[in-house]
Chain A
């Protein structure tokens, strides 16, 4: 058993997960980063006990299939190190589509996240989609079916997500339809953009799978960028 040590620094790494990395699930991302830390000789603090493992805290798990420009993971370092150099080293040890932006000492906690901005690109929109999207997003109520678990049973219930849409903007771009929107995000309430997408493409011919979803930014309650 290695001796138990105290950590010297608590840091956050911000990174982008784009391109093919959108197909790496959250759990696999955790393992991938753990291994990268080992490869890059990061003096990361391990949990104690029978099965020691690197102690990593991700702000929010990202759904499979989404790209993100604003992922973060918090961890502890056993010694003081040059964080810029560390960021470079880790970046090299990660697959190409996971890019380290910065490693820094943080002041906020993942619990402070309240909103997230998404860029949603409909690659092959039906001609009705723009109009339909506009009318849905502008109406007073947006009812979607939310799946949840009640005890052992899976239940679907209708919820109004209107209050969870802080803002939206629809633009057309070369035959594609782009929706920029800020949705509720965080530990207490989290709106998966797929729910909104489902509501928008309903009654149109648009394939809801042929959509690129990019998480652009996370915000706190007062709409300050979460860092």
Chain B
């Protein structure tokens, strides 16, 4: 429900439907009939936020309660923000049109580090004090969840409560508690004291951090009711966990606009560079029946003509060969397309291939991640060149003519030989195409090589590693470009300054709060967007705070250094990560979890259970 003063602005902005609400399946309640109002904020634009599965799950979960109403909020685009500031219109939630300051809980999802300044900007646009120390009332309480919460320290100045891990259960517990304290008329501090007692609730103001002279952390002290370490929450049984029966159907084109079936959580692979592969452990699978039924319900309720299965490595799902025919059985009849992203090269069976041929052909993508076997072993990407080529051949047989290969640059232990190896591998894929007698007639092949810069992340075996500097990466990019002359190979790579900032924020400590605040004051927002990203402003902010990006990004940390994220307990044992780091430097692989459990420790979060091994 957009208010009249907003409607006037909408006539002057691009894509006004970003700001209207009123989409199909959006939930409108009577605010007088609920005890708690929750504004779920995605710190990026509508198109990106509306594509996010976690938001859909929590929106539906909270709205399933009679006593609470969850609404959606996205970061307004530049044109809308300017008009809002000019006309003193406060940031509002799409369902009610009410300003965020009227809510009890304002929750942000922190999906990527480069969205942090948008959190500040959205609070400011709402008229909520950006710094948590300036917020004195019980409501609104500003909370945050999402993968970046595994190291929330850079954001502690702005957020009251972080919820590490999966939000389903703890959100409900927190809502119950806040309702109770609202009714009691408690103070903010009284509420926070009780909140900190809930497992999986991190109240940063109950921790004092002390530093050594060199800027590393000396000690961390927990005060009040706070535990020494905060253990992340997980949902134990995904078949019983809440899943939406419908999705809000956007009126404009968004990034992901389709039925999404969540297949499992966690990942069996243990690629050493991949944070998601560690922070979502242990593995928990959903039954094919549940997934099928959930996809059916959402497709019926939305009218979507596409289903995608979403998990870290979907084809590792034990029942994939059972699930796909189940979905195809009804979906094809109704002209619904089933797409399977992130398929892995190494378990692409003939049967799966046949099923895939039935649906529209999208591009085929592989992620070898590194150019040589030695480096692939070091990062534990257990894919061999032979497997890549064999699958490519299979794909070419199946009629595919374009292949996308994903790589990373700046990986620990990487040398220029590894960079050249990227082009060698791409060339071998091209050769495979031309050697294939069954290749589609009259067609050429195109191999796109996409190179991202590696950013070391917390809770991975590479959390101690120095990140390549921008100069080092530029040098490597030059080598990469000069390593091939083939017109069949197209190379693209990621800009490097954003990865520097991403790396700094990912492994940063509390002192970065001031840097983020200053950068935002200088106008930084939408940092993940090339058209907005301005590294010079960030550099100024670092200088003003007497901090350097090198300290956070390019320094090798000792195994025994106290890390800012040691406060968080994600179930992964540090000794396991140290072992994995050592093995990386020796280019020794670790078998994936289905072959052998490496005792990462995460199964303890689920009473010793881990679906990788059953």
Which residues of A are interface residues toward B (Cβ below 8 A)? Answer: 2, 19-21, 23-25, 28, 31-32, 34-39, 46, 50-53, 64-65, 93-97, 209-210
Residue of B nearest to A20 (CB): B20
Residues of chain B lying within 8 A (CB to CB) of residue A37: 303
Q: A35-B303, A46-B335 are in contact. Are A210 and B252 (CB under 8 A)?
A: no
Q: Is B302 an interface residue (CB 8 A)?
A: yes
State the CA gap A23–B2 with chains docked (Å): 12
The answer to whether A95 and B22 touch (CB under 8 A), given A23-B17, A28-B17, is: yes
Q: Is B305 in contact with A38, judged by CB distance below 8 angstroms?
A: yes
B300 to chain A: which residues have CB within 8 Å?
39
Q: Which residues of A contact B16 (CB under 8 A)?
A: 23, 64-65
Interface size on B, residues (CB 8 A): 27
A32 contacts B251, C-beta separation under 8 Å: yes
- 9 tightest A-B CB contacts, nearest first: A35-B303, A38-B303, A23-B16, A39-B303, A20-B20, A23-B17, A209-B11, A20-B22, A24-B251
| Whole-angstrom CA separation of A97 from B22 in the bound complex | 8
| Interfacial chain B residues near A25, Cβ < 8 Å | 17, 252
Q: Pick the contact of B10 from A23, A31, A51, A52 — CB < 8 Å?
A: A23
Which residue of chain B has its CB nearest to the CB of A34?
Answer: B303
Contacts of B321 in A (CB 8 A): none
Instruction: Give 1 or 0 for each of B286-314: 1 = CB within 8 Å of chain A CB.
Output: 00000000000000111111000000000
Inter-chain pairs besides A25-B17, A28-B17, A95-B24, 11 sampled, C-beta below 8 Å: A23-B20, A24-B251, A32-B249, A35-B24, A35-B249, A36-B303, A52-B335, A53-B335, A65-B11, A95-B251, A210-B11
Residue of B nearest to A39 (CB): B303
A90 CB → nearest B CB, Å: 11
Q: Contact flags (1/0) for B1-19 with A, using CB distance below 8 Å?
A: 0100000101110001100
Cα-based distance from A97 to B21 in the complex (angstroms): 11
Shortest C-beta distance, A20 to chain B (Å), equals 4
The proximity string for B residues 242-265 relative to A, scoring 1 for CB distances below 8 Å and 0 otherwise, is 000000010111000000000000
Task: Determine which of A20, A38, A39 lies in contact with B21 in the assembled complex, contact meaning CB atoms within 8 Å.
Answer: A20
Residues of the B chain whose Cβ atoms lie less than 8 Å from the Cβ of A52: 335
A28–B305 Cα gap in the complex (Å)?
15
Which of B211-257 touch A at CB < 8 Å? Answer: 249, 251-253
Q: Does B184 contact A (CB under 8 A)?
A: no
| Distance between A78 CB and nearest chain B CB, rounded to angstroms | 12
Q: Which residues 1-48 in B have Cβ within 8 Å of A in the complex?
A: 2, 8, 10-12, 16-17, 20-24
Q: Complex Cα distance A46/B305, Å?
A: 13
B17 proximity list for chain A (CB < 8 A)? 23-25, 28
- Complex: A52 Cα to B249 Cα, angstroms: 21
Q: Shortest beta-carbon distance, A124 to chain B, in Å?
A: 9
In Å, the complex CA distance between A31 and B258 comes to 12
Q: Are B303 and A93 in contact (CB under 8 A)?
A: yes
Q: Which residues of B contact A32 (CB under 8 A)?
A: 24, 249, 251
Asked whether any CB of chain A lies closer than 8 Å to the CB of B360, the reply is yes
Q: Say whether A50 contacts B360, CB under 8 Å.
A: yes
Contacts of B8 in A (CB 8 A): 209-210
A23 vs B305: C-alpha distance in the bound complex, in angstroms? 24
In the complex, which residue of chain A has the Cβ closest to the Cβ of B16? A23
For B320-343 the 0/1 string (1 means CB < 8 A from A) is: 000000000000111100000000
B2 touches A20 (CB 8 A): yes
Contacts of B249 in A (CB 8 A): 32, 35
* Cα–Cα distance between A209 and B9 once the two chains are bound (Å): 9
Q: How far in angstroms is the closest Cβ of chain B from A201?
A: 14
Residue of A nearest to B257 (CB): A31
- Residues of chain A within 8 A of B11, CB atoms compared: 65, 209-210
Instruction: Please measure, in the bound complex, the distance between the C-alpha atom of A35 and the C-alpha atom of B23, giving whole angstroms.
Output: 12
Q: How far is the CA of A94 from the CA of B302 in the complex (A)?
A: 10
Residue ID in chain A nearest B361 by CB atoms:
A50
Q: Kindly provide the distance from the CB of B458 to the nearest chain A CB, expressed in whole angstroms.
A: 40
Interchain CB contact under 8 A, B335 and A2: yes
**In the complex, chain B residues whose CB is within 8 Å of the CB of A51:** 360
Shortest B369–chain A CB gap in Å is: 33
Chain B 263-298, CB within 8 Å of chain A: the 1/0 string? 000000000000000000000000000000000000
Kindly state the separation between the CA atoms of A93 and B302 in the bound complex, as whole angstroms.
9
Shortest Cβ distance from A31 into B: residue: B253
